[in-house]
Structure 1
Amino acid sequence: MSPHGSSSPVLPLLVLSLLLLSPPGTFAGGDGRPPSKPIVTPISKDGATSLYTIPVKGGAPLVLDLAGPLVCQPGSPDPCCACTAYSYNPPSGFWRFRHRGQRGSGDLTRTPLSANATDGRNPPFPVCFPAYAACAPNGLLASLPAGAAGVAGLSRQPLSLPSQVASRLKVASPFELQASPPVELAEGLRQNALPLLVNPKNNGAYYIRVHGIAVNQARVPVPAGAFDLDRRQGTGGVVLSTVTRLTTLRSDIFSPLINAFDAATSGIPRRKPMPPYDLCYEASAFGSTRLGPGVANVDLMLDGGRNWTLPGASSLVQVDERTLCFAFQNMGVGATVANSPAVIVGTHPMEDNLVLFDLEKGTVGISGLLRRMRINCGNFNFAMGSS
């Protein structure tokens, strides 16, 4: 990663490839043909902020925020606008404090965006399309990655980017990664998708139901109902976030989890904890596997007896050449404020997973670490070509 905060290379650091499903015939392609295909864009990770961006604003990046309600960009108010929108700064604090974070008001305007159509295998032609966006005060977005043109909200709210682009599409798309033979992932994820939960207090965010957590296949003893979403209060539950790097857990879940992981790794030499990490190890003590450092798996226990397995590449983070640390964080004091989830699943465990959201059906499919199949998100073919 660059010490100057420039974006890291795209392909090795993809979280997923964003499929914004466009209504057939709605947007004109670069060659004049109306695309009846989804559109696709690569996702890059910024080295300085660990935020993820997509290059849809004239090639300039927009920061991804799964819970964000709309697209917001810096700029002067448009005198032709007739309504006001409230923009926000996702990096201004942890997700649970979004309602306390930096906010501002600005006119709602239309902005040009562009991406490439896809048949699920490659992007055959470009697509340009307008989207509604909030004009945010320049200072509000000052903490975004260098060169970022704003924020792309990906929530289920009506003005989020996928809602604007995908509101009428009824055609499913494949998603094929280059391998020998090629690997198609989307259909399997659709057939085994998880239901998304709705938090009435934050109905744009993506919550999943988690029944428990395990280390080395042994269930961690957490209080009954610790992962439950209280819909009346808007608290609890497990939410996916692209503006929080580490998976962050309420103290009653974090404490037994780190104790269980500590016990499962008792034979591995420790290093001094390095905030915000509470448990760190001598990196050279781990064996190397294609799933990262050889260490006890952490499993999120999901509906239908399924697990989201987090091996070493997802449960540990490299801090420096000598140090690997446990990639989970304690929410600490103030974790019971309004709208606070029990668990925020951050970007680190989602890296090199295909995460497929179906806004119409209200489901999400999660592939698990693609390295298990000897592929990664960089295997998608972003080269322009005909289909």
Structure 2
Amino acid sequence: MLLSLGDCIVGKTSADQFCFLQEGCLSPLSCHDSFCKEAQSYINPICPSRNITAKYGCKLCAVTPFNPVSKSCKLSQLTIDLKHMYVTDGRNPFYDDPINYGEQFVLSCAPSSLLRSLPKYVNGVVALSWSRLAFPRQITFPSVADKFGLCLPSSSSMTTPGALFLGDGPFYFTPFPNLDLRTILSYTPMVRKSSKSLGYYVKLNGISIKGTRINLKAKSMRLSSVVPYTTLRSDIYKALVTAFTKATKNIPRVNAVKPFSLCLKASAMGSIQKGFHVPRIDLETESGKVWTISGDNSMKRTGNGAACLAFIDGGLEVKDAIVMGTFQMENNFLFFDLENQKLGFSSSLLARGTSCSSFNYTF
């Protein structure tokens, strides 16, 4: 977890402690702490060396927080701080106990220079992985531990935010106050490639586009909140583009816009208000349930009257054959049940008259 707490203060106080009760370094962890060992077990090759024991001893845990937007990394330290969270009944948020000083979280300080590429209202990033240090996995309440819902908006505006819920619901979005989103979810198993694997994977048996089926033989698909567009290994990408080209043969083509290869005339696919009318892309999951990618999640408006198939050719040597990106997850409600290792998915909420920006944040 990376969180902006101001520049970390690395130095001794008169009490011979580090960061003595200063905001952003409330209780630094030593290099012997089990959380330190967890944090240091994942090494990014672009990050600087953590070997600072000679200078500071083992009274602090050196870590290298990573900014996924700028792809930059800095040397910092692991600490414990108190953070307040909003509580919800599934319909509205409300304030937690005002007497409560907050919940303890293990996090990394983030030098201010590491956060410059993030939007001005963003103070850091949180991990949503299998790691013990990931935000949902640090929750100690049994009723919310190891379960979370994620709903990414189609806009990054502060007035149209998405939502992240910890716990198993219920989840009510406007304008349907009596529709619990859990009732519309389909489920498929999540898999881990190894005990050290941090990513969330589901298996796909195939991809279907208007009668054309691409057999995948239980290929694993990783879900990414960092990759902007779904990235496919070259052979899968070419088969997808071929099938989509065939299915949209009556829609006029326009010049391709990088990084995409197939672009169509936007005005020939419907209005902005009603979304793009193109054949849906059905992902056939291991459980037999279908995750449908509609036109709102398959076509990216690129300007000059063009909209492009928003999938990327990752090449032949990619680590993961299929990585679902954030564009394909926008306005899809996803429920991660880590306890039972299964993923719930809604397909597009827009087809149901709501969106990921429709949670009522009014107190």
Q: Which residue of 1 aligns with 2:125?
A: 151
The offset of 1:202, in angstroms, is 5.1
**C-alpha distance in 1 between matches for 2:143 and 2:75:** 31
The alignment-based identity, stated in percent, is: 32
Superposition pairs of residues 161-176 of structure 1, within 5 angstroms: 161-165=135-139, 168-169=142-143, 172-176=168-172
2:299 to 309, 312, 316: 316
What are structure 2's unaligned runs of at least 5 residues? 11-17, 20-27, 31-60, 145-166
CA contact (8 A) 1:174 1:187 kept: no
1:122 to 80, 88, 92: 92
Superposition pairs of residues 1-387 of structure 1, within 5 angstroms: 70-73=1-4, 75-78=7-10, 79-80=18-19, 81=28, 82=30, 83-92=61-70, 102-126=72-96, 128-165=102-139, 168-169=142-143, 172-180=168-176, 182-189=178-185, 192-200=186-194, 203-220=197-214, 225=217, 228=219, 237-288=220-271, 292-332=275-315, 335-336=317-318, 340-384=319-363
TM-score, normalized by length of structure 2? 0.73
1:316-358 per-position Cα deviation (integer Å, ceiling 9, x unaligned): 011115111101011136x33xxx2111101111111111111
1:198-238 per-position Cα deviation (integer Å, ceiling 9, x unaligned): 02275221111111111114202x5x54x53xxxxxxxx21
**C-alpha distance in 1 between matches for 2:362 and 2:231:** 36
Pair 1:215–1:144, CA change in 2 (3 A): same
Give secondary structure in 1 for the equivalent of 2:244.
helix
Corresponding residue pairs, total: 290
CA contact (8 A) 1:217 1:297 kept: no
CA contact (8 A) 1:77 1:106 kept: no
The offset of 1:247, in angstroms, is 0.7
CA contact (8 A) 2:202 2:286 kept: no
The offset of 1:107, in angstroms, is 1.1
Matched AA of 2:174: Q
The offset of 1:125, in angstroms, is 2.3
**C-alpha distance in 2 between matches for 1:211 and 1:325:** 25
The offset of 1:286, in angstroms, is 1.3
Pair 1:157–1:344, CA change in 2 (3 A): same
Matched AA of 1:134: S
Q: What is the RMSD of the two structures over their aligned residues, measured on CA atoms?
A: 2.4
TM-score, normalized by length of structure 1? 0.69
CA contact (8 A) 1:213 1:300 kept: yes
Pair 1:273–1:379, CA change in 2 (3 A): same
CA contact (8 A) 1:291 1:372 kept: no
The offset of 1:178, in angstroms, is 2.5
Matched AA of 2:2: V
